[in-house]
C-alpha cells in the first residue's frame, strides 16, 4: 500500500472479514455456527469506506472499515483513518439521545478503524426509495426526533460549559473530513476546479453565472464562516437522504463520520436541501406529465413537517431540560421568566431557520455543480431533461442562500419550490 498506515492496520476483504469477526467473542456468538459458513458481501456504495454485510446461522451484522484514502477517488486522495473513531464516538453519543434511530453499535476496533453494527434490514437507503416514488409516512416524525434530540442535548442549552467544551475539543480533531465539507460545499462550486462537474453543455451558462455571482459568493462565504467558527452542537455533518435507511415504519441514521461541533442549521439545512433537490428531480422520473404530482406534494409536505416538527420539538426539549449554561435557568424563572424564555426561543428558532435555509441552498448547489452528485438527478438519463430539473433546483438554491430572510416561514419555501417547479 502506497499510503503509510498505523501499525496493526490492514484493510479487510471478503475473505478476511470472517476470520477477524471469529476472534471477537460477542460478534462470533451473534453470527453463530462456524465462521466458514458465514456469508460475506462487500456492499459499500458510498464514497469513502469498505462496508461488509455478514450473515451467520444465528444473526447478522454490518462491518464498516475506513480506508486510508477516498474510495471514490483512490490513493491519490489520502484520508485520515481516524474518521472511524469520530463516527463511532458521535454515533455513541447520538444513540444515547435518539434511541432506536441509529443502528445499534456492536464493536469498535481502534487498530483497524472498524465499526461493527446492527445490520438495518429490510431497510434501504432512503434516496433509492425516493427515486422510485416511495412514500415514507413516518420519516418526518423520526428525523424530527433525531435532529431535535441529538442537536439539543449537545448544545449549550442542555450541557454545562465544561462538558460542551470537551466535546468541542474532541471533535475539533476531525479536521480532514471537515475540510472536505469546507471545500466541496462552500468553495469549489463557486470557482474553476478540475473536480467540479455538471450536466454539460446544458448548464455551462448557469455554472459560469454562479462563479461570477458576487452576492452569492459573499453569502456562501458567510455560511462557511459559520461552519468554521460556530460550535453550537454535535452535528451528524452529512445528513442527507443517502445517510438514512428506511422502511415504511422505521428510520435509521447512518454514517456520522463527518461529525463536528458546528452550526445546527447545517444538519437541518442539508437534509431540507436534499429533499428539495429530490423534489426538483421528480420531473425527470415521470413517464407521463404530472404522474409524480402526489409524490411532489408528499416531499414538500415532508419538508414542512421536518422544519415545523424540529422547531417545536427542540423548543419542547429546551423548556423541559434547561440544564445548560446557555440561557441559564435562574435568569428565566417565574411566570415572567417563562414568558421571556418563550420569546428567546422564538428568536433563536427564527435565526436558526434562516441559517438552515442558507445551508440547504448551499447543499443543493454543490450537488449540482461540484464533485459529488446525487443519484436523484444522475439517474435521469436524458441530459436535457436532467439539466432542466437541475436548473430549477439551482434557482431556488440561490434564493435560499442569498435571500434566506425573505422567506417568512417554511410554507413560503415550499410554495416557492412548487412555483419554480411548474414555471
Query: Which residues here bind its own copies, judged by CB under 8 A?
Result: 156, 161-162, 164-166, 168-170, 172-173, 175, 178-179, 182, 187, 190-191, 212, 214-215, 217-218, 221-222, 224-225, 228-232, 325-328, 330-332, 336-337, 339-340, 343-344, 347
Residue whose CB is less far from its own copies, 188 or 388: 188
94 or 155: whose CB is closer to its own copies? Answer: 155
| Spatial distance between the Cα atoms of 251 and 120, rounded to a whole number of angstroms | 9
DSSP string, 372-407: ---HHHHT---HHHHHHHHHHHHHHHHHHHH-GGG-
Short-list 295, 250, 253, CA closest to 275: 295
Query: How near is the Cβ of 209 to its own copies at its closest, in Å?
Result: 13
CB of 174 to its own copies, least distance (A): 8
Taken in order 313, 315, 321, 323, is the CA torsion positive or negative? positive
Provide the minimum distance between the beta carbon of 268 and its own copies in the complex, in angstroms, as a whole number. 16
- Cell 486522495, residue located: 77
How near is the Cβ of 303 to its own copies at its closest, in Å?
27
Q: Cβ of 179: how many Cβ atoms within 10 Å? A: 12
Distance of alpha carbon 345 from alpha carbon 322, whole angstroms:
12
Least distance to its own copies from the beta carbon of 179, Å?
6
- Closer to its own copies at the Cβ: 220 or 420? 220
Q: Residue 192 burial (CB < 10 Å; 0-12/13-18/19+)?
A: exposed
Give least dist CB 225 to its own copies, A: 5
Instruction: Using CB atoms within 10 Å of the CB of residue 405, give its burial: 0 to 12 exposed, 13 to 18 middle, 19+ buried.
Output: exposed
Cα 46 to Cα 64: distance, rounded to the nearest angstrom? 11
101 in Cβ contact with 251 (< 8 Å):
yes
Shortest Å, Cβ 1 to its own copies: 24
Q: Coil, strand, or helix at residue 62?
A: strand
Could you tell me which residues are beta bridge partners of residue 235?
260
Nearer to its own copies, 111 or 321 (CB): 321
Closer to its own copies by Cβ: residue 6 or 337: 337
Identify which of residues 128 and 230 has a Cβ nearer to its own copies in the complex: 230
Give the N- to C-terminal CA distance of the chain in Å, as an integer: 53
Residues constituting the chain: 423
CB of 83 to its own copies, least distance (A): 14
Of 182 and 304, which has the nearer Cβ to its own copies? 182
Which triple of cell numbers denotes residue 421? 417547479
Residue 354: all three cell numbers together:
434562516
Residue with Cβ nearer its own copies (56 or 256): 256
Beta bridge partners of 66: 49
Q: Which three cell numbers stand for residue 205?
A: 451558462
Instruction: Between 17 and 178, name the residue whose CB sits nearer to its own copies.
Output: 178
- Nearest residue (CB) to its own copies, 77 versus 327: 327
Q: Output the smallest distance, CB 325 to its own copies, in A.
A: 6
Query: Whole-angstrom Cα distance, residue 150 to residue 138?
Result: 18
Which residue, chain included where needed, has cell 469549489? Answer: 188
Classify strands 39-42 and 105-109 as parallel, antiparallel or unpaired: unpaired
Q: How far is the CB of 340 from its own copies (least distance, A)?
A: 4
Amino acid at each position: 500500500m502506497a499510503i503509510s498506515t498505523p501499525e496493526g492496520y490492514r484493510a479487510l476483504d471478503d475473505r478476511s472479514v470472517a476470520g477477524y469477526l471469529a476472534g471477537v467473542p460477542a460478534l462470533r456468538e451473534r453470527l453463530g455456527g462456524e465462521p466458514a459458513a458465514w456469508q460475506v458481501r462487500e456492499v459499500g456504495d458510498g464514497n469513502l469506506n469498505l462496508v461488509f454485510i455478514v450473515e451467520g446461522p444465528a444473526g447478522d451484522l454490518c462491518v464498516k472499515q475506513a480506508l486510508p484514502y477516498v474510495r471514490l477517488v483512490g490513493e491519490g486522495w489520502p484520508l485520515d483513518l481516524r474518521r472511524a473513531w469520530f463516527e463511532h464516538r458521535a454515533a455513541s453519543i447520538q444513540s444515547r439521545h435518539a434511541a432506536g434511530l441509529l443502528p445499534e453499535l456492536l464493536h469498535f476496533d481502534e487498530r483497524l478503524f472498524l465499526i461493527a453494527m446492527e445490520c438495518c434490514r429490510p431497510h434501504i437507503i432512503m434516496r433509492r426509495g425516493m427515486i422510485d416514488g416511495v412514500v415514507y409516512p413516518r420519516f418526518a416524525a423520526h428525523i424530527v426526533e433525531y435532529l431535535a434530540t441529538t442537536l439539543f442535548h449537545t448544545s449549550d442549552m442542555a450541557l454545562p460549559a465544561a462538558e460542551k467544551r470537551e466535546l468541542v475539543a474532541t471533535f475539533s480533531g476531525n479536521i480532514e473530513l471537515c475540510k472536505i465539507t469546507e471545500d466541496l460545499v462552500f468553495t469549489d462550486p463557486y470557482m474553476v476546479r478540475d473536480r467540479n462537474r455538471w450536466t454539460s453543455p446544458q448548464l455551462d451558462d448557469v455554472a459560469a453565472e454562479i462563479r461570477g455571482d458576487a452576492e452569492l459568493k459573499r453569502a456562501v462565504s458567510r455560511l462557511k464562516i459559520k461552519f468554521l467558527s460556530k460550535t453550537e452542537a454535535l452535528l451528524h455533518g452529512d445528513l442527507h437522504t443517502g445517510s438514512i435507511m428506511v422502511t415504511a415504519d422505521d428510520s435509521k441514521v447512518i454514517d456520522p463520520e463527518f461529525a463536528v461541533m458546528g452550526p445546527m442549521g447545517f444538519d437541518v439545512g442539508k437534509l431540507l436541501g436534499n429533499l428539495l433537490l429530490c423534489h426538483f428531480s421528480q420531473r425527470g422520473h415521470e413517464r407521463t406529465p404530472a404522474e409524480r404530482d402526489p409524490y411532489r406534494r408528499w416531499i414538500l409536505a415532508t419538508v414542512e413537517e421536518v422544519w415545523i416538527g424540529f422547531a417545536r420539538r427542540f423548543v419542547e426539549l429546551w423548556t423541559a431540560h434547561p440544564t445548560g449554561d446557555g440561557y441559564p435557568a435562574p435568569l428565566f424563572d417565574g411566570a415572567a421568566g417563562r414568558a421571556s424564555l418563550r420569546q428567546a426561543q422564538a428568536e433563536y428558532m427564527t435565526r436558526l431557520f434562516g441559517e438552515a435555509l442558507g445551508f440547504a441552498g448551499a447543499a443543493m448547489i454543490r450537488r449540482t455543480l461540484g464533485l459529488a452528485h446525487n443519484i436523484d438527478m444522475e439517474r435521469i438519463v436524458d441530459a436535457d431533461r436532467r439539466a432542466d430539473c437541475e436548473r430549477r433546483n439551482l434557482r431556488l438554491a440561490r434564493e435560499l442562500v442569498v435571500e434566506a430572510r425573505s422567506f417568512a416561514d417554511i410554507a413560503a419555501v415550499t410554495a416557492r419550490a412548487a412555483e419554480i417547479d411548474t414555471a
